[in-house]
Amino acid sequence: MAQKPSIPSGTRDFSPIETAKRSYIFDTIKSVFKTFGFQQIETPAMENLSTLLGKYGDEGDKLLFKILNSGDAFSKLTTDDLGNSNAAATKVCEKGLRYDLTVPFARYVVMHQSEISFPFRRFQIQPVWRADRPQKGRYREFYQCDVDVVGSTSLLNEVELIQIVDEVYRRLNISVTLKINNRKVLSGLAELMNAADKLTDITVAIDKIDKIGLEKVKEELRERGIADSAIAVLEPILTLSGSNADKLSKMREVLKDSEVGLLGVQELSTIFEYLQNLNLGCKVELDLSLARGLSYYTGAIFEVKANDVEIGSITGGGRYDNLTGIFGLPNVSGVGISFGADRIYDVMSQLNLFPESTLVGTQVMFVNLGKQEELASIKLALQLRQKGVAVEVFPENKKLPKQFDYANKRDTPYVAIIGESELQQGTVALKNMKTGEQNSLQVDELTSLLLKKLTVNL
């Protein structure tokens, strides 16, 4: 009995059209990264579990996909282990699938530090895997597109990442707002609240303000042991309005007694100064309620929202000061952002932003009308292909309506016909499948006409 095939829950097949749309996003992002002088690296899908465990918190550890050791994996396992899945897993699995691109990158920098010229500007576009409960918009395998500079504390790096965001979304034609804040400002606020030791609790709570609103955030802060008096200090800051300059001057006043807080304000000011000279297309907004959950951020933090679609952030990142420390290379500061390809895809689908050229596979299909006709077609196809046109020759001499139906279903824009009379006259009939218009052309005319309209965009 044949089995009915399926794929694991939370994973996806990508059809030709989906793959083409996704490639359009990846290629656009990649080409912007390249114009900023970033270089691509790739790391293995599998990392040693010792590299991954303990880097994403207890919750993250549980979401790692572990790979069974090959060979006689179970020989080390005892009956006692069976009661404890964690202990058992450690004995039968040494490897896991990467959970993000950040930890593998830190591992890469440490392993290859002698080959790298710092500042190291790298990008990486690869899938990651998480054993999360699958749900709408949340997958167990998905791509991340990360771009980072490590080994430079200059704020110009932050500015260039903002320029990259601006340029990527300009090319993708998505209207966005970039929100920026600084962890040092949040640290300063925590000092002001007499809760410097609770910075993580505060950022975790603030981080939810978009989803749950101010009142619930205050509730959560109370539950996490923040005094009402401290919350009263924080509240007006979270709801601060006005221009970026207004907000900055207000914060400079509020944080006047916090060294770290003022440093954060100064970093933000410097970034805004740069941006004034760079004519960005997107709006950059200082958002003092922006916190970003990840505890490793230490300076600027970013998040990008699509203006015309209700969806979570489509890009995010920030500065971190000690990512490589855990692998034995301390004091390497870095800053990076990550583009969320799946959400960008959803935004572009909803707004119908994929250019038509992305959706075309084969550009011209030659119908197949018999031996001699076929031969003339494949010779001509060869010439067109060498000039970069995507050409198909229908492989069988089937009834013409069937062949046209095939071209139609695949949205092929042109069908070329070489029949008996065309063969005699050395011509080709070209049918525009959208308009239905059909013209008889000399072979040379066909080539130059098609070249004007079509070339493979790789």
Q: Between 96 and 316, whose beta carbon lies closer to its own copies? A: 96
**Cis bond before residue 119 (omega within 30° of 0):** yes
- Specify the pairing of strand 93-97 against strand 46-48: antiparallel
Nearby residues of 57 by Cβ (< 8 Å), 6 or more positions away: none
The distance of closest approach from Cβ of residue 427 to its own copies in the complex, given in angstroms and rounded to an integer, is: 20
Residues 132-171: x where in contact with its own copies by CB under 8 A, - otherwise, as a string: --------xx-------x--xxx-xx-xx--x---x----
The footprint of its own copies on residues 314-333 (CB under 8 A) is: 325-329
Neighbours of 135 (CB within 10 A): 8
Q: How many Cα neighbours within 13 Å face the side chain of 346?
A: 14
Determine the straight-line distance between the first and last CA of the chain, rounded to whole angstroms: 43
The interface region with its own copies, picked from 18-26, 179-187, 200-208, 440-448 by CB under 8 A, is 18-26
- Residue type at position 58: D
Residue 424 binds to its own copies (criterion: CB under 8 A): no
Q: Could you tell me the smallest distance in angstroms from the CB atom of residue 292 to its own copies? A: 23
Nearest approach in angstroms of CB 20 to its own copies is 7
Task: Find how far residue 258's CA is from the centre of its chain.
Answer: 36
CB of 225 to its own copies, least distance (A): 32
Residue 456: Cβ-neighbour burial (10 angstroms; 0-12, 13-18, 19+): middle
Give residue 265's identity as a one-letter amino acid code: V
103, 129, 171, 275 from 132: Cα distances, Å: 18, 9, 32, 38
Locate 440 and state its tokens.
Answer: 């008889």
Which lies closer to its own copies via its Cβ, residue 365 or residue 369?
365
In the complex, minimum distance from the CB of residue 14 to its own copies, in angstroms, rounded to a whole number:
4
Region from 78-86, 204-212, 252-260, 441-449 binding its own copies, contact rule CB under 8 A: 78-86
CB of 194 to its own copies, least distance (A): 34
278 binds its own copies (CB under 8 A): yes
C-alpha distances (whole Å) from 148 to each of 22, 151, 197, 369, 430 are 22, 10, 29, 55, 49
Within positions 213 to 272, which residues make up the interface with its own copies, using CB under 8 A? none
108, 169, 404, 414: which one contacts its own copies (CB under 8 A)? 108
To its own copies, the closest distance from the beta carbon of 217 in angstroms equals 31
- The residue range among 127-135, 220-228, 303-311, 418-426 that interacts with its own copies, by the rule CB under 8 A, is 127-135
| Cβ neighbourhood burial of 323 (10 Å; 0-12, 13-18, 19+) | buried
Tell me which of 406, 419, 423, 440 binds its own copies, using CB under 8 A.
406
Smaller CB separation from its own copies, 149 or 190:
149
Q: How far is the CB of 433 from its own copies (least distance, A)?
A: 14
Residue 127 contacts its own copies per CB under 8 A: yes
Regarding 458 and contact with its own copies (CB under 8 A), the answer is yes
Is residue 117 within the footprint of its own copies (CB under 8 A)? yes
Q: Alpha-carbon distance 368 to 129, whole Å?
A: 45
Distances (CA, A) of 99 to 49, 234, 327, 396: 11, 34, 17, 47
Give the total of residues touching its own copies (CB under 8 A): 120
Looking up tokens 């005094």 gives 227
Question: Which residue's CB is nearer to its own copies, number 34 or number 138?
Answer: 34
Cα dihedral: 209, 210, 216, 222 (round 10): -10
What residues numbered 361-400 form the site for its own copies, per CB under 8 A? 361-362, 365, 374-375, 378-379, 382, 385-386, 388-393, 395-396
| Phi and psi torsions of 112, nearest 5° | -110, 20
Binding span for its own copies by CB under 8 A among 259-267, 274-282, 339-347, 348-356:
274-282
Shortest distance, position 193 Cβ to its own copies, whole Å: 33
* Least separation in angstroms between CB 316 and its own copies: 21
Q: Cα 125 from chain centroid?
A: 8
Interacting residues with its own copies between 39 and 58 (CB under 8 A): 39-48, 50-51
Does position 85 bind its own copies by CB under 8 A? yes
Cα–Cα distance measured from residue 380 to residue 412, given in angstroms and rounded to the nearest whole number: 18
Residue 67 interacting with its own copies (CB under 8 A): yes
Tokens 């009995």, residue located: 1
| 287 and 270 Cβ atoms separated by less than 8 Å | no
